[in-house]
Amino acid sequence: MTDANARVVPLPAVRASPALDRGPFDRRIAAGEGHACVVPGDGSVWCWGRDSALAPADARVARVPHVAGARAVVAAGSTTCATTREGVVCWGENVHGIVSMPPTLDYRSEPWLVRMQSGEPARSVALGVSGACALAGAVECWGDVGSPLAPHTATRFGVVLLADQKTNSLTGSLFTYPTRVLDLEGAIEIAVGGDHVCALTEDGIVRCRGTDREGELGRGWTHRAQRTAGDELLPAAPVPGLRDVAEIAAGIAATCARTAAGEVFCWGSNDEGLVGAPGLDSSPRPLRVEGLPRAARLSVGAMHACVVAADARVFCWGANGAGQLGDGTTDASATPVAMRGIDHAVDVAAGDFGPESFTCVLRDDGRVLCVGSNVHGELGASGVDRAFSPIVVAGLPAVR
Question: Domain for residue 272, yes or no?
Answer: yes
CATH code: domain of residue 295: 2.130.10.30
Question: Domain for residue 5, yes or no?
Answer: no
- Identify the pLDDT of residue 396: 67
Q: Give the closest residue to 335 by CA, choosing from 248, 251, 246, 270.
A: 270
Domain that holds residue 41: 29-392
Q: Return d(Cα 40, Cα 15) in angstroms, integer.
A: 6
Q: Return d(Cα 38, Cα 51) in angstroms, integer.
A: 15
- Give yes or no for a contact between 270 and 238, defined as CB atoms under 8 angstroms apart: no
Q: Return d(Cα 26, Cα 296) in angstroms, integer.
A: 13
Q: Give the closest residue to 52 by CA, choosing from 83, 88, 93.
A: 93
Tell me the torsion sign for CA atoms 284, 287, 289, 290: negative
- Identify the pLDDT of residue 216: 94
- Identify the pLDDT of residue 99: 94
Query: How many C-beta neighbours within 10 Å does residue 242 have?
Result: 18
- Identify the pLDDT of residue 181: 93
Question: Domain for residue 398, yes or no?
Answer: no
Question: Domain for residue 20, yes or no?
Answer: no
- H-helix or E-strand containing 300? strand 295-300
Q: Whole-structure pTM over 0.85, yes or no?
A: yes
pLDDT-flagged residues of the chain (< 70): 1-25, 53-59, 148-151, 222-231, 396-400
Q: Return d(Cα 35, Cα 187) in angstroms, integer.
A: 28
Question: Domain for residue 15, yes or no?
Answer: no
- Identify the pLDDT of residue 15: 38
Q: Which amino acid is at 92?
A: G
SS3 271: helix
Q: Return d(Cα 190, Cα 247) in angstroms, integer.
A: 9
Question: Parallel, antiparallel, or unpaired for β 139-144 and 245-250?
Answer: unpaired
Number of domains in the chain: 1
Strand order in the sheet with 29-31: 29-31, 35-38, 46-49, 62-63
Question: Domain for residue 4, yes or no?
Answer: no
Question: Domain for residue 133, yes or no?
Answer: yes
Question: Domain for residue 209, yes or no?
Answer: yes
Residue 182 has, within 13 A of its CA and on its CB side, a CA count of 5
Q: Which amino acid is at 131?
A: G
- Identify the pLDDT of residue 22: 40
- Identify the pLDDT of residue 354: 85
